[in-house]
Amino acid sequence: MPRLFAGFEIPPDLVERLALFRAGLPGARWIDPENYHLTLRFIGDVDGHVAHEIDTALAEIRPRAPVAVTFEGFDVFGGERPHALIVRAKLTRELADLQGEIERRLRKAGLAPEKRKFVPHVTLARLRGVEPLLAADYIARQGRFPDLRFEAGHISLFSARDITGGGPYLVEAAYPFAGMALAANR
């Protein structure tokens, strides 16, 4: 079974705008724009039975209004050894509540707790051998971050090939909020 994770798909108009930042940072391995997403919960490699439990758990997420996502600006993961260039999203109460519900339901389905702190973001590039000052300079040169936001009306269950990050990612199923109709591959 491929690696799984739950998250939000990024709307095509925002994908186009984010893709404009794909240059000017030596050592960056840029993520293909069609693989941009916001991860709500990494799941990992699972067998078919566990995948079914995950599908059931996500399908039971309680109805809610669409979740507003507002991107705040660039950042890096890794501190003194940057390994990812990201666009950070504002952690709102609605987003935190949804992520918390996903975490609780997946634990109830038998998954181990997520150890990493939830930081909502879209990864733009993987970094290897990039000095912190070079990454900081890239961020500073971008200037004022544009007003980028969207409303997520569903959670997607993504699969990924077993490679080092960056895709390709496939949407295996989608779980709409508040009874919104959405085609899913379930």
Active site residues: 37, 121
Q: Which residues, in sequence order, are bridge partners of residue 149?
A: 70
* Joined tokens for residue 103: 């975490």
- Whether 127 and 82 have beta carbons less than 8 Å apart is answered as yes
- Whether 7 and 39 have beta carbons less than 8 Å apart is answered as yes
> Alpha-carbon distance 112 to 56, whole Å?
17
* Count of helices and strands (H, E) across the chain: 4, 9
